[in-house]
Chain A
């Protein structure tokens, strides 16, 4: 099913996870298949529109390639269509893999990432312009260059961050706390590569010790919303774990909080970080099924054939044999069975 073209401004603005992006470069129009889990997530979002985000904090889990990123994308698209305020971070790994500059802020005693924050503010403004147009700031924030008080709008606050990159991290945190207090529109915070926020980052402090992810300003804020320490009055927090990157694997604290089977030693003598346990507390596991159903896989097969992107015959025998080879796994089905096959 194709995404509606007017809603895809969120896709264009925020960007896409890497694995999804490759698909969309091959297909003419971005689309995804509606599954039972999609319907379930959209139902949950509908219910969460009127409740605090502390009550709806989901983490999508499942095998590698089962469709967690796509599901999150579908949820973000739905929220945008339903006039939610959305903040979507498609690649949270970029927050912790030392790919953006970082600056220590002595006031908050955390490391801010000004470039990333500035870019995120710009994207947020692009997508949610119409919704935050008339929202007034509820607190008072004296910045060096300008003071933001109750006469200014959220747009003015964002502009401070856009103009002065050194203020961008603070502006972003302030923006999120402002959004937490308003009740005009529900807020969706969607993070892909969610487990990266619970790991050790690749940044180093002046003593060359690794910096923990929750000592970085933006990840810390995201973790606070994810753990319920801060909450939107109306909204939800959705995170999708990514099993592909082995540098940033889900740590034991997150795995136990979600009730998954630990792949690492998990006895009573293995230390668990208290902070991480707190940040993972209250997250609900939303498992995504490993296998596509035959109908869903057939829809994907149809879409790819209609886009004239495949070199294999369009027949039920081919389809079923490719489905068997991939074992129903969505990524294996598209990437390996359909695109990399030579057995016609």
Chain B
């Protein structure tokens, strides 16, 4: 066999002098040469030869996308980005699928290292997408987003919204619904603006608009004269009596004064109205459960403060400064072993 090869080789090389043994051509006719293997079909994807075809397919898709995006960004002169620009980009907040979900999506086994590599690629593409978005190339960003959407979690919005304060909703009657908590108590508070009674509305609309200062002591008998010595001008007649609406507070369908016999509890509940300057502007209905009187009144106070901040946004900084919008985090401290109560120690004995 070697000899045959050698001879063939020397035939091709066609050197004049003989280097190998002479074989007559007639003997070479029946010689069996090496057969070419049967032609196999070319695999669709180059990943066929890898052990994890599905995984590498996906990874290749991503890498291609990254490559194209990079090229596009380089053409648009967005890459490489100077340091100050990179620092001032908005933060990336990505919520990718977890390993199990991604494996299910790809229909492939995923180990941690492969998962991490995949995530690294996703993050890189996400970075380019952010760059495109910030630079104003919305179409490019959207195209990249379409690729990334496949690998994002379904409840992405919910996860990103965690920790953010939800805006207080109003129903069709203009009532707000807020919740306040303190110690072990919870208060569900519905607050609605008060309306002057129909006869008061008529009276206020029919009387001429005057600069009536609401005085605290309108006597039972109405005075008809103004300040003596004035015969004309606004000081010559008494200001029209201002009809004041009052705040009614119902707690578990019981009036406030009946439900909270202690003055301190009542004052704590009315305090948000006083700070915001809205006493008499709103009526309150609350359902309170759990805890004792202090906890329930504290919970009510927080619920009312949140509701007032929602109804009258201008009062929010006032309430915040007064620390009425903060949920008091103090809770009853647990009893510890070796102590009589949370902090109280047993009597120390010398011996």
Establish whether residues A324 and B280, one from each chain, have CB atoms under 8 Å apart when the complex forms: yes
Q: Which residue in B219, B246, B266 is a CB contact (below 8 Å) of A299?
A: B219
A325 with B256: in contact, given A294-B246, A317-B274 (CB under 8 Å)?
yes
Contacts of A327 in B (CB 8 A): 248-249, 255-258
Q: Restricting to B234-261, which residues have a CB under 8 Å from any CB of A? A: 244, 246-249, 255-258
Q: Which residue in A299, A317, A325 is a CB contact (below 8 Å) of B220?
A: A299
Establish whether residues A343 and B267, one from each chain, have CB atoms under 8 Å apart when the complex forms: yes
Cβ-based interface call for A328 (8 A): yes
Contacts of A124 in B (CB 8 A): none
Q: Which residue in B220, B255, B273, B279 is a CB contact (below 8 Å) of A295?
A: B220
Cβ-based interface call for B72 (8 A): no
In the bound assembly, the distance between CA atoms of A298 and B28 in angstroms comes to 132
Cβ-based interface call for B218 (8 A): yes
In the bound assembly, the distance between CA atoms of A325 and B220 in angstroms comes to 23
Cβ-based interface call for A134 (8 A): no
Cβ-based interface call for B217 (8 A): yes
Residue of B nearest to A336 (CB): B263
Establish whether residues A324 and B247, one from each chain, have CB atoms under 8 Å apart when the complex forms: yes
Establish whether residues A314 and B216, one from each chain, have CB atoms under 8 Å apart when the complex forms: yes
Chain B's nearest CB lies how many Å from the CB of A201?
30
Establish whether residues A343 and B216, one from each chain, have CB atoms under 8 Å apart when the complex forms: no
In the bound assembly, the distance between CA atoms of A316 and B218 in angstroms comes to 11
Cβ-based interface call for B271 (8 A): yes
Chain B's nearest CB lies how many Å from the CB of A149?
51
Q: Which residue in B218, B220, B256, B277 is a CB contact (below 8 Å) of A1?
A: B220
A326 with B257: in contact, given A320-B244, A336-B263 (CB under 8 Å)?
yes
Establish whether residues B246 and A319, one from each chain, have CB atoms under 8 Å apart when the complex forms: no
Cβ-based interface call for A340 (8 A): yes
A316 with B214: in contact, given A1-B220, A299-B220, A324-B279 (CB under 8 Å)?
yes
Contacts of A329 in B (CB 8 A): 255, 257
Establish whether residues B219 and A302, one from each chain, have CB atoms under 8 Å apart when the complex forms: yes
Contacts of A34 in B (CB 8 A): 220
Establish whether residues B279 and A320, one from each chain, have CB atoms under 8 Å apart when the complex forms: yes
A325 with B267: in contact, given A320-B280, A332-B257 (CB under 8 Å)?
yes
Cβ-based interface call for A315 (8 A): yes
Mark A261-299 against chain B: 1 for CB-CB distance below 8 A, else 0.
000000000000000000000000000000000111011
Chain A's nearest CB lies how many Å from the CB of B248?
7
Q: Restricting to A231-266, which residues have a CB under 8 Å from any CB of B? A: none
Cβ-based interface call for A33 (8 A): yes
Cβ-based interface call for A341 (8 A): yes
Cβ-based interface call for B215 (8 A): yes
Cβ-based interface call for A321 (8 A): yes
Cβ-based interface call for B4 (8 A): no
Establish whether residues B279 and A321, one from each chain, have CB atoms under 8 Å apart when the complex forms: yes
A-B pair count, CB < 8 Å, reads: 80
Q: Restricting to B176-229, which residues have a CB under 8 Å from any CB of A? A: 214-220
Q: How many residues of A contact B (CB 8 A)?
A: 33
Chain B's nearest CB lies how many Å from the CB of A159?
43
Q: Restricting to A1-58, which residues have a CB under 8 Å from any CB of B? A: 1, 33-34
Mark B276-309 against chain A: 1 for CB-CB distance below 8 A, else 0.
0101100000000000000000000000000000
Chain A's nearest CB lies how many Å from the CB of B179?
22
Residue of A nearest to B274 (CB): A321
Chain B's nearest CB lies how many Å from the CB of A308?
14
Contacts of A154 in B (CB 8 A): none
Establish whether residues A341 and B247, one from each chain, have CB atoms under 8 Å apart when the complex forms: no
Cβ-based interface call for B78 (8 A): no
Residue of B nearest to A1 (CB): B220
Cβ-based interface call for B270 (8 A): yes
In the bound assembly, the distance between CA atoms of A336 and B263 in angstroms comes to 6
Chain A's nearest CB lies how many Å from the CB of B262?
9
Q: Which residue in B214, B217, B246, B263 is a CB contact (below 8 Å) of A341?
A: B263
Contacts of B280 in A (CB 8 A): 320, 324
Q: Restricting to A321-339, which residues have a CB under 8 Å from any CB of B? A: 321, 323-329, 332, 336-337
Residue of A nearest to B216 (CB): A316
Q: Which residue in A296, A324, A341 is a CB contact (below 8 Å) of B249?
A: A324
Cβ-based interface call for A301 (8 A): yes
Establish whether residues A343 and B271, one from each chain, have CB atoms under 8 Å apart when the complex forms: yes
In the bound assembly, the distance between CA atoms of A319 and B219 in angstroms comes to 14
Mark B310-323 against chain A: 1 for CB-CB distance below 8 A, else 0.
00000000000000
Chain A's nearest CB lies how many Å from the CB of B265?
9
Establish whether residues A340 and B246, one from each chain, have CB atoms under 8 Å apart when the complex forms: no
Contacts of B247 in A (CB 8 A): 324
Name B residues whose Cβ lies closer than 8 Å to a Cβ of A. 214-220, 244, 246-249, 255-258, 263-264, 266-267, 269-271, 273-274, 277, 279-280
Task: Show 29 residue pairs from A and B whose CB-CB distance is below 8 angstroms, ordered by the A residue.
Answer: A33-B220, A299-B219, A301-B217, A302-B219, A305-B217, A314-B216, A315-B216, A316-B215, A317-B277, A317-B279, A320-B279, A321-B279, A324-B246, A324-B273, A325-B266, A325-B270, A326-B257, A326-B266, A327-B258, A328-B246, A329-B255, A329-B257, A336-B263, A336-B266, A337-B263, A340-B263, A341-B263, A341-B267, A343-B267
What are the 4 A-B residue pairs with the smallest beta carbon separation, nearest first? A302-B217, A327-B257, A343-B267, A325-B266
Known A302-B217, A324-B273; further 8 A-B contacts with Cβ < 8 A: A294-B246, A301-B217, A321-B273, A325-B263, A325-B269, A327-B249, A336-B266, A342-B263
